[in-house]
């Protein structure tokens, strides 16, 4: 099963963390059913997901929080890419990866696995769900497909 590495701020929550992003619940439901999900966020960069679950509990309904407990942690220190298993088949969903992180992806020939989210785009997460459905059906990379 393909992995998803998932950021929170600017993806599941609006930039200023004031509310759940439009389409975030639909995205989470799809990801949790179709991918092996991992947190790749500043809210969780060790083997403990309790802080991220506590943080998200302020925003998401209890049933979603229960489902989010299945998302696994990754360990990283300086760059989020330290937490990616480059031997796995994956996508990384993030709003603002660092240039140095993009360079690491390039070095591993997998920059196309990065899915940058821009919540300023109307229905961004709903469009992402549709794109991921197409990719899963065609079993291709994010860049190849659409």
The pLDDT value given to residue 144: 47
Cα–Cα distance, 81 to 99 (Å, whole number): 11
Domains and CATH numbers, the chain: 3-145 (3.40.50.1000)
Cβ 73 vs Cβ 44: under 8 Å: yes
The pLDDT value given to residue 1: 87
Maximum Cα–Cα distance for the chain, whole Å? Answer: 40
pLDDT digits (tens, 9 = 90+) for 90-130: 999 999 999 999 999 999 999 999 999 999 999 999 999 99
Cα–Cα distance, 87 to 71 (Å, whole number): 19
For 64-78, letters b (16+ CB in 10 Å) and e give beebbeebebbebee
- Nearest Cα residue to 87 out of 116, 108, 114: 108
DSSP for 40-68, written as a single string: -BTTB-SS--HHHHHHHTTTS-HHHHHHH
The pLDDT value given to residue 32: 97
Residues of the chain with pLDDT under 50: 143-146
The pLDDT value given to residue 141: 53
């Amino acid at each position: 099963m393909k992995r998803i590495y998932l950021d929170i701020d600017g993806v599941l929550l609006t930039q200023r963390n004031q509310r759940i992003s439009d389409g975030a619940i639909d995205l989470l439901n799809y990801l949790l059913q179709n991918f092996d999900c991992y947190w790749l966020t500043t809210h969780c960069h060790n083997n403990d997901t309790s802080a991220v679950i506590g943080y998200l509990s302020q925003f998401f309904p209890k049933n979603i929080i229960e489902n989010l407990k299945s998302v696994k942690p990754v360990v990283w220190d300086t760059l989020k890419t330290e937490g990616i298993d480059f031997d796995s088949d994956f996508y990384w969903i993030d709003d603002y990866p660092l240039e140095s992180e993009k360079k690491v992806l390039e070095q591993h020939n997998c920059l196309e696995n990065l899915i940058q989210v821009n919540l300023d785009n109307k229905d961004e997460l709903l469009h992402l769900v549709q794109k991921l459905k197409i990719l899963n059906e065609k079993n291709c990379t994010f860049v190849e497909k659409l």
